[in-house]
Amino acid sequence: MARYIMTVDLRRCIGCQTCTAACRHANATPPGVQWRKVLDIESGEFPDVRRSFVPVGCMHCANPPCMHVCPSTATYQRADGLVGIDYDLCIGCGYCAVACPYQARYIVHKREFAYGERPTEQEEARFDPKRMSAANKCTFCSDRVDYAKEHGLTPGVDPEVTPACVNSCIAGVLAFGDREDPNSNVSQLLAENQFFRMHEELGTDPGMYYIFDSK
């Protein structure tokens, strides 16, 4: 069975936030809700300073604490590794949000708009009332992955079935594919490069792999 993961080549990332903006578009999230975003992390002391850019979001863990704690079964894990939320079941208790060590989950109770108190035409057209007061987070664009299955396409290769953030990335940082397929783009990248996963010590078996150097 497939396990879809994302690789993040930290050598390449410049923190431009194009993925952040693309995700906001693709998933119609309201202002401030960034399922994908890039951190700007400075380390060291002048003059020995490093600055790193780190894309983060839901890690689609193989052992997702958010799912384990969810009292309503709204958070679920698919056979292909994607972790999703059924907005019809979610009670908005926030337990998943405190269980997630990646700060990936959002809960919005009040509609907010880009400009003032009224939605723009686009915001109105894409408003989804089901998300109000329910937990939400990155889906790895699961609808696209589903479409791939139905149409014989390959996520991570064919853009129409690849997550929006990956498609948008202008530095070749993000890649998406099946970890279980040794020939997939992500398996090849991981075979050729050194990588880590964030907070791996917490036993979450996260699905975002951060490449930091070649082998």
Partner 1 sequence: MSDVKIPPGRVTPWHQTNWDWRAAGNFIGGGSGTGLLFFATLAAGSADAYRIMALVALAFIGGGLTCVWLEIGKPFRAINVFFHPHTSWMTREGMVAVPVFLCGLAAAWFGGGIFVGMAALLGIVFLYCQGRILQASKGIPAWREPKIVPLILSTGFVEGAGLAAVLSAVLPGEGPRWIAGVLLGALILRRIAWTMYFKAVEQSGLPKKAMDVLRPFGAKFEMLGQLAPEILIVAGIFYGAVLPGLTLVAGLVAAASGWWLKYTIVARAAYNQGYALPVLPVRGQGEVKPGIKPGWTK
Partner 2 sequence: MAYHDARTGRLTMAAARNVKKVPQYCYQCVAGPDLLTVKVEDGVATEVEPNFSACSVHPGAGKCCVKAYGIIQKTYNPNRVLQPMKRTNPKKGRHEEPGFVPISWEEAFGIVAGKLNEVRARGLIDEVGYPRVAASFGGGGTPTYYMGTFPAFLSAWGPVDFSFGSGQGVKCYHSEHLYGELWHRAFTVSADTPSCEYMLSFGANSEASAGVAGTWRHGEARARGMKRVQLEPHISVTGAASAEWVPIKPKTDAAFLYGLIHVMLHEQPRTRLDVDFLKHHTGSPYLVGPHGFYLRDPATKKPLLWDAKRNAAVPFDTPDADPALEGSFTLDALEVGADGEEWLHQGIAADTSFSMLVAHMKPYTPEWADGICDIRPGTVRRIANEYLDHARIGETVEIEGVTLPFRPVAIALGKTVTNGWGGYECCWARTLIACLVGGLEVPGGTLGTTVRLNRPATSRQASVKKGEDGFMHFPMNPTAKGTWRKEPAVRNAHSTLVPLSANSPWSTALGPTHLAWMFRKQSPENWPKVTAPAIWFCYRTNPSISFWDTQAIVERVAEFPFIVAFAYTRDETNHMADVLLPECTDIESTQLLRVGGTKFMEQFWDHEGYVLRQPAVAPQGESKDFTDIATELAERTGLLREYNEAINRGAAGVVLSNHTWDFKLDPEKKHDAATIWDHACRAASAELTDGRETDGLDWYKEKGLRTRPISRLTWYLFPELKKQGIRFELPYQEQLLRIGIQLGRRLHENGIEWWNTQLTEYQALPPIKDFPGVWEKDTAAHGTLGDFPFWLITSRSMQYAWGSNVGIQLMDEVGSNLRGHGGVVINTQRAHELGIAEGDMVEVTSYLKSTRGPAILRQGIRPDTLLMIGQFDHWVTPYAKDMKAPSMNGLVPMNIALTDATGSAADLVRVGVKKLEAA
Give the footprint of partner 1 on this chain (CB under 8 A): 10-11, 32, 34, 39-41, 43, 50, 52, 54, 56, 65, 67-74, 89-95, 97-103, 105-110, 132-134, 194, 196, 198-199, 202, 204, 210-214
Minimum distance of partner 2 from residue 185's CB (angstroms)? 14
Query: At 36, phi and psi to the nearest 5?
Result: -120, 135
Q: What's the CA gap between 94 and 109, in Å, rounded?
A: 12
Looking at residue 160, what DSSP letter applies?
A: G
Return the residue matching tokens 């699961």.
142
- The closest of 97, 75, 94, 72 to 86, measured between CA atoms, is 75
Contact flag: residue 45 with partner 2 (CB under 8 A): yes
Q: Which of 39, 91, 98, 202 binds partner 2 (CB under 8 A)?
A: 39
- Contact range with partner 2 by CB under 8 A, out of 30-38, 59-67, 97-105, 198-206: 30-38
Inter-residue contact 162 to 176 (CB < 8 Å) = yes
From the list partner 1, partner 2, none, pick the one residue 100 interacts with, judged by a Cβ distance below 5 to 8 Å according to partner type: partner 1
Q: Whose Cβ is closer to partner 2: residue 50's or residue 109's? A: 50
C-alpha torsion angle, residues 54, 60, 61, 66 (rounded to 10):
110
Minimum distance of partner 1 from residue 49's CB (angstroms)? 11
Q: What is the number of H-type helices and E-type strands within the chain? A: 7, 10
Q: Which of 105, 137, 144, 179 binds partner 2 (CB under 8 A)?
A: 144
Q: Whose Cβ is closer to partner 2: residue 201's or residue 214's? A: 214
Using CB under 8 A, count the residues that bind partner 2.
62
Q: Whose Cβ is closer to partner 1: residue 29's or residue 168's? A: 29
Q: How many Cα atoms occupy the beta-carbon half-sphere of 122 within 13 Å?
A: 11
Instruction: Work out the end-to-end distance of the chain between its first and last CA atoms, rounded to an integer number of angstroms.
Output: 27
From the list partner 1, partner 2, none, pick the one residue 46 interacts with, judged by a Cβ distance below 5 to 8 Å according to partner type: partner 2
Q: What's the CA gap between 18 and 185, in Å, rounded?
A: 22
